[in-house]
Amino acid sequence: MASFSMEDFVGTGSLQKLLPKLLDDGWDDVPTLKIMNTEDMTAINMTQAQKDALEIRSYLHDRALMQYADKLEASGKCLAELLNLGTTDLFAQFGMKRGHMARFMDRTSQCEADPMPASFSLPARKPMAPPSRNSSMFKTPSISARPKLQAMSTRSTIAYDATIEQSIADFKIKDGYIFKGIVAALPDEPRACGCIQPPPIVDDVAPYSTVENISVQKLTPEYKIGMERLVKSKTPPMRVSDLWRDKPSLLLCIRRPGCIMCRAEAHKLYSKKPIFDALGINMFAVLHEHIESEVRDFWPRYWGGVVLLDKNMDFFKALGGGSLLKDKFISGFLFNPRARANYKRAKAMGIEQNFKGEGEIKGGLFMVGKGRSGVAYQFIERNFGDWAPLAEVIEVATRLQNHQLNGEESMGGSRDYE
C-alpha cells in the first residue's frame, strides 16, 4: 500500500535532494505534494527530471504500485512513455507482475476514488465578510486561505486553489444521490438466512455534552518531513474540546489500527487532506488502546495526521449511545456478506494486516463544529469495515466552513449546550 511518509514517497530518486525546499515552501506532506501543478513546480525551480519523477510517483501512489517507483523513475522515461510500453517490456525492464500491469495501464482507476457531492464547489477565495446573523450553514461555501501556504506567492496559491477545484471536479457523484442524514449508518443485510440479528444502532447524534469533556492523549503529531515518528515524551491527557476550540474537527474512531479495513479507510480519508485543509477542518484518528508497535506501523503509512488515545473509550461509547458497539468475528464477519465485501475492497488496495489488539469494538466518525456548536455528523461502523461516505463527509465539511465564515452560533446537528 502507498505510504504517506514523504521519505517513502520520494524514494532514492531525484526528488530526494528537493526535500528541504519542499519543506520550506509548505509542500511537506504527500497528499499536498501530489496536487502540485506545473506553475508550482516552476516556482521552486524543479528540473524536468524532478517533474517527471513527481508525475510518475503520484500516478503510482494512486494505484498502490509504489514498489516500482524507483525503477520506473531511473528508466529516464516520462509517465506517458511508460504507459505506452507493452506488457513484455514492463515485465522485462521492471519486473512488474501481470495483475499490477493491469492496474498500471488503467489510466482511469484510482485506489482512492470516491465520489464528491454534486453541490460541492470550490470558488476562488475572497476576503472574509463580516459575520451575518441571517446566513445559513447550508449556503454555498467559500474557501479561506490555507494557513500552511500563506507564505507562497499569490500566483502559486491561486494555482493551488485551481488544482483543488479540479480534483473536486474529477469526483462528481451520480445523479440521484440521497444524503443519508446526520446519523449515517450503512444498511445491514440478513446474516445466516436471518437467524442472526445485527446489533442495534442509535438513531440520534451524540449530545455535545457527552463528547466535550472526553479526555484524550496525543500519541503522534501531524506528520511532516523528517520529524520523529512518535511523541517521545508521554504527553499529559487533555480535554478533547480544546481540539475544536478554533476550527471544526474530524475524528476518525479506529476499531483496530492493524485491521486491513481500518487502515484502508484511514488511508482513503487522509488522501483527501488538501480538501479538508482548504475547508479549515482538523483531522484526527482516535484509538481505544495503545500498542506502540501498532501505532508505529499505522502512522504515517496509513494516516499522517495526529493520532489520539481515548483510553476510556468514551468516543466509542458515544457512537453506541452510551455503550460500546461490539460484534463477534463469526456472526459479524463470517456470516455477514457486507463485512466480507468490505474486506475484499480493502484487500484489493494491497494493504497489509495483522491481528494484534482488540477488534470487536466498532468504530466510526465524528465531525464537530468550532467551539460549542455541537456534533454536526456521526457515522457508525454498523458492519465491520463500513466507511463513512466521503461525499457526505465533504458536504458536511463545506457546511461547517460556511457556518464558521458567517459567524453563526448554532447548527443543524446537536445543540446541547449544558
Q: Report the catalytic residues.
A: 259, 262
Cβ count within 10 A of residue 405: 20
Q: How far apart are CA 384 and CA 341, in angstroms?
A: 10
Q: How far apart are CA 69 and CA 340, in angstroms?
A: 31
The SS3 of residue 168 is helix
Q: How far apart are CA 253 and CA 362, in angstroms?
A: 9
Residue in 396, 391, 379, 416 with CA at minimum distance from that of residue 118: 391
Query: How many CA within 13 A on the CB side of residue 352?
Result: 10
Can you read off the three cell numbers belonging to residue 331? 456472526
3-state DSSP percent of the chain in helix, strand and coil, to 5 = 40, 10, 50
Q: How far apart are CA 269 and CA 390, in angstroms?
A: 8
Q: How far apart are CA 213 and CA 240, in angstroms?
A: 6
**Farthest CA pair distance, the chain:** 67
Transcribe 78-133 into DSSP letters. Answer: -HHHHHTS-HHHHHHHH---HHHHHHHH-SS--TT--PBPTT---PPP-PPPPP-T
Q: How far apart are the first and last CA of the chain?
A: 44
| C-beta separation of 325 from 361 below 8 A | yes
Residue in 231, 245, 306 with CA at minimum distance from that of residue 273: 306
CA 199 to chain centre: 27
| C-beta separation of 268 from 348 below 8 A | no
Q: How far apart are CA 69 and CA 141, in angstroms?
A: 38
Residue 264, CA distances (Å) to 79, 238, 394 in order? 26, 28, 18
